[in-house]
């Protein structure tokens, strides 16, 4: 009978914690003052304090801690303390109550190695973060199983507010933003890999992050973003990194790469080849030989050539990125225009006065009302669609698009694409615009389009002339290099 009564009280205690009923708990304590003391021996995985904090019953939780303070350090089946739940739910007042009982509870990890501060960071509870760090400042140095610090965790959870607060609270630790996990990744590596634009911008503008740190795979943050699929976020982050002096790992001197840092913040641009900085400074030479001076100037000429090649490679990369985005947008527009031509499609069959079907369901109304214009519309739209798809295919095909001739061909294809898209718009306006003011609307549109096409033609002509001049120069160089046939 006593065992049955004890089980009944355990059930009532659990129900009281579910409902947050302080009165029910007080009644149980009157009947048996050891009710809470026996809670650790029940069949339930969580204590009443865990349950109350999970459900947000703060008055119930405060009463439990007041009556039995040592319940604040009890853990559940996953080794989570009540502070884990209070921190995750953002109960700042309850956090203060729990840490006042035992400040060391801030350091308790669960079975996954996460402290209450980790859960507060994961949920972005900045007020809780502030209180936990104030109570136990060393908790900010805790790491997870793969060596991830709290700032790594904040970036992975995309909690910029929590990251800013952690950096502010740990401002005395100069290496906090540059500390690496077990894979050698800093928080800048992770933010770049996750394409977190605002986080990257904050790290580059407000912190002393080492922009050219190298991870365990030998990659800098710029290397990581270069291998990402091309989109607007990737281009924006790449621009931030380059403007902050970011370099590819292959452009970092070997001595600097070994230290996982290129240089302190300086005025070195990302396109400068700095191989001379890695070598020890040569001893002073006697000022006698002009040949020595010529040899000393040789590295600078080599650096100049490498600088031009690097600038050319960067120019090609930017052009490819811009062409990929433009081609993708135009392909989507052409596809949509082909499925939904101007004027829409017939919803059902429409016979004329003679009973003949003049419009079938699902077919273009423009094809029946303006057949000549519909043919032109579909022709121009199809050319722009196929041309844009061809550009996308060439850009992702892996072909060596590193010469000007290939870029020129891509530019010609883009010119054809834009021209056909412009003519598609002109035909569409002619089909859907009402004939008001003796065709004034159509004349304005037509004149505007032809002015636009004329501008494109002039630009294309200039590029063609430059390309022909480049071809002529190449031919002349080849002729000069050809050995003479005379004896």
Lowest mean pLDDT among 156-165, 270-279, 419-428, 436-445: 270-279
pLDDT for 154 equals: 93
354 or 162: which carries more pLDDT confidence? 162
pLDDT for 355 equals: 61
Q: What's the pTM?
A: 0.53
Q: Do domains 1-142 and 168-273 have the same CATH topology?
A: yes
Fold held by 168-273: 1.25.40
Lowest mean pLDDT among 47-61, 141-155, 455-469: 455-469
pLDDT for 434 equals: 64
List CB contacts of 349: < 8 A, sequence separation 6 or more. 357, 359, 360, 361
Over range 287-309, report the average pLDDT: 45
361 or 99: which carries more pLDDT confidence? 99
What residue ranges do the domains of the chain occupy? Answer: 1-142, 168-273, 309-339+366-481
CATH 1.25.40.20 is held by the domain 1-142:
yes
Closest CA to 49 of 85, 93, 10: 85
**In this predicted model, what pLDDT tens digit does every residue of 335-378 receive, in sequence order?**
888 888 887 777 777 666 666 666 777 778 787 777 888 888 88
pLDDT for 481 equals: 66
Task: Please give the structure tokens belonging to residue 433.
Answer: 């615009």
The overall average pLDDT reported for the chain is 77
Over range 408-412, report the average pLDDT: 75
pLDDT for 86 equals: 93
Over range 4-17, report the average pLDDT: 79
pLDDT for 312 equals: 55
CA distance linking residue 423 with residue 379, whole number of Å: 10
What sign does the CA torsion over 77, 82, 83, 88 have? positive
Contact of 150 with 118, CB cutoff 8 Å: yes
Q: What is the percent of the chain with per-residue pLDDT over 70, rounded to a whole number? A: 77
């Amino acid at each position: 009978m006593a065992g049955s009564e004890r089980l009944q009280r355990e059930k009532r205690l659990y129900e009281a914690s579910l409902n947050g009923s302080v009165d029910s708990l007080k009644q149980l304590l009157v009947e048996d003052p050891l009710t809470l003391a026996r809670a650790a021996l029940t069949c339930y995985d969580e204590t009443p304090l865990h349950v109350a904090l999970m459900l947000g019953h703060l008055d119930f939780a405060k009463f439990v801690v007041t009556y039995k303070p040592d319940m604040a350090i009890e853990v559940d089946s996953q080794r989570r303390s009540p502070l884990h739940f209070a921190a995750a739910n953002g109960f700042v007042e309850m956090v203060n109550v729990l840490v006042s009982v035992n400040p060391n509870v801030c350091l308790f990890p669960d079975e996954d190695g996460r402290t209450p501060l980790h859960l507060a960071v994961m949920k972005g509870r900045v007020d809780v973060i502030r209180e936990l760090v104030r109570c136990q400042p060393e908790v900010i140095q805790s790491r997870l199983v793969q060596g991830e610090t709290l700032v790594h965790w904040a970036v992975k959870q995309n909690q910029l507010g929590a990251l800013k607060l952690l950096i502010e609270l740990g401002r005395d630790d100069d290496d906090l933003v540059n500390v690496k996990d077990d894979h050698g990744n800093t928080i800048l590596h992770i933010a770049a890999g996750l394409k977190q634009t605002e986080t990257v911008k904050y790290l580059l503008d407000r912190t002393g992050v080492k922009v050219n740190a190298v991870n365990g795979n030998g990659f800098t943050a710029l290397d990581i973003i270069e291998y990402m699929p091309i989109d607007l976020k990737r281009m924006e982050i790449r621009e931030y990194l380059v403007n902050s002096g970011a370099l590819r790992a292959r452009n970092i001197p070997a001595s600097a790469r070994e230290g996982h840092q290129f240089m302190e913040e300086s005025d070195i641009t990302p396109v400068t080849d700095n191989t001379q900085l890695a070598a020890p400074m040569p001893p002073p030479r006697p000022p006698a030989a002009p040949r020595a001076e010529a040899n000393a100037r040789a590295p600078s000429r080599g650096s100049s050539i490498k600088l031009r090649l690097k600038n050319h490679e960067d120019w090609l990369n930017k052009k490819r990125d811009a062409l990929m985005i433009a081609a993708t947008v135009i392909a989507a527009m052409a596809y949509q225009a082909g499925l939904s031509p101007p004027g829409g499609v017939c919803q059902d069959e429409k016979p004329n006065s003679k009973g003949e079907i003049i419009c079938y369901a699902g077919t273009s109304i423009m094809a029946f009302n303006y057949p000549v214009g519909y043919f032109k519309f579909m022709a121009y739209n199809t050319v722009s669609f196929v041309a844009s798809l061809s550009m996308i295919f060439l850009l992702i095909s892996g072909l060596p698009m590193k010469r000007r001739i290939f870029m020129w061909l891509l530019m010609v294809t883009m010119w054809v694409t834009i021209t056909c898209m412009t003519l598609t718009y002109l035909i569409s306006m002619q089909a859907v615009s009402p004939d008001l003011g003796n065709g004034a609307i159509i004349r304005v549109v037509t004149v505007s389009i032809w002015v636009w096409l004329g501008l494109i033609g002039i630009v294309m002509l200039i590029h063609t002339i430059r390309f022909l001049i480049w071809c002529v120069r190449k031919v002349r160089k080849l002729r000069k290099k050809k050995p003479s046939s005379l004896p």
